[in-house]
């Protein structure tokens, strides 16, 4: 991991730990989860919002005012709104995507859940997704939430990532392995 990425992750982890602890203590985890949904949506859909949090061109005051207005419009809980305001005043809004991921992970851990990133060659059916979730639950002993994406370059099979573990059963990976074996022989 590069140094700037690890610094960002460290900053985000500290904010996430503080917000999670406070939310759990005040029994506001559900509200925080709703806020995370809203923040993920705006991060995914708004180039202007991403520019605001990433660009050094905006001053602390400009970022703070924009974040306050957005928090009010998005009806974010006071805890998240205050956290975002604090981050703006400290010029730390650039870690917001990592903060959202870290908070999601902490909440999932608290619930005894784990997220699985699943990449498949074709979209999974509901039955396939349910069967995979059941299999992963047996393997990891936790409820599994599947985040599925499609990558046709896999040709067939799946790539499943749960935490630091990865299971790659894609045909692309098997072809690559076969190609490497053939290079060693000849």
The structure tokens listed for 151 are: 């990558």
Q: For the chain, what are the domain ranges? A: 3-109, 113-185
From residue 4, give the alpha-carbon distance in Å to each of 67, 108, 148, 168.
Answer: 24, 26, 28, 29
Q: How far apart are the first and last CA of the chain?
A: 35
From residue 107, give the alpha-carbon distance in Å to each of 120, 121, 133, 142.
Answer: 26, 30, 19, 13
Topology adopted by domain 3-109: Peroxidase; domain 1 (1.10.520)
Task: Characterize 44-79 residue by residue with b for buried, 16 or more Cβ atoms within 10 angstroms of its Cβ, and e for exposed.
Answer: eeeeebbebbeeeebeeeebbebbeebbeeeebbeb
3-109 and 113-185 share one fold: no
Residue 1's pLDDT is 45
Per-residue pLDDT of the chain (186 residues), as tens digits, is 445 667 888 899 999 999 999 999 999 999 999 999 999 999 999 999 999 999 999 999 999 999 999 999 999 999 999 999 999 999 999 999 999 999 998 998 899 888 899 999 999 999 999 999 999 999 988 899 898 999 999 989 899 999 889 999 999 998 888 898 888 876
Residue 145's pLDDT is 87
Confirm if 83 and 36 have CB atoms less than 8 A apart.
no
Query: What contacts 40, CB < 8 A, 6 or more positions away?
Result: 100
CATH number assigned to the domain covering 113-185? 3.40.30
- Measure the CA–CA gap between 83 and 107, rounded to whole angstroms: 17
User: If residue 55 lies in a helix (H) or strand (E), which one and from where to where?
Assistant: none
Residue 163's pLDDT is 81
- Measure the CA–CA gap between 108 and 146, rounded to whole angstroms: 12
Confirm if 123 and 150 have CB atoms less than 8 A apart.
yes
Confirm if 116 and 136 have CB atoms less than 8 A apart.
yes
């Amino acid at each position: 991991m590069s140094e700037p990425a690890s610094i960002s992750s460290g900053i985000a982890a500290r904010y996430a730990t503080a917000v999670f602890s406070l939310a759990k203590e005040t029994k506001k985890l559900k509200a925080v989860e709703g806020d995370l949904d809203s923040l993920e949506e705006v991060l995914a859909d708004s180039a202007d919002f991403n520019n605001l949090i990433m660009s050094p061109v905006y001053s602390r005051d400009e970022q703070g005012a924009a974040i306050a207005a957005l928090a009010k419009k998005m009806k974010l809980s006071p805890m998240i709104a205050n956290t975002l305001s604090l981050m703006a005043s400290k010029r730390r809004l650039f870690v917001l995507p990592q903060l959202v991921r870290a908070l999601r992970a902490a909440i999932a851990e608290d619930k005894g859940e784990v997220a699985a990133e699943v990449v498949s060659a074709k979209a999974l059916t509901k039955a396939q997704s349910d069967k995979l979730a059941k299999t992963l639950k047996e393997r990891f002993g936790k409820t599994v939430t599947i985040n599925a994406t499609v990558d046709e370059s896999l040709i067939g099979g799946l790539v499943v990532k749960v935490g630091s573990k990865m299971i790659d059963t894609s045909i692309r990976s098997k072809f690559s392995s076969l190609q490497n074996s053939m290079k060693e022989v000849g």
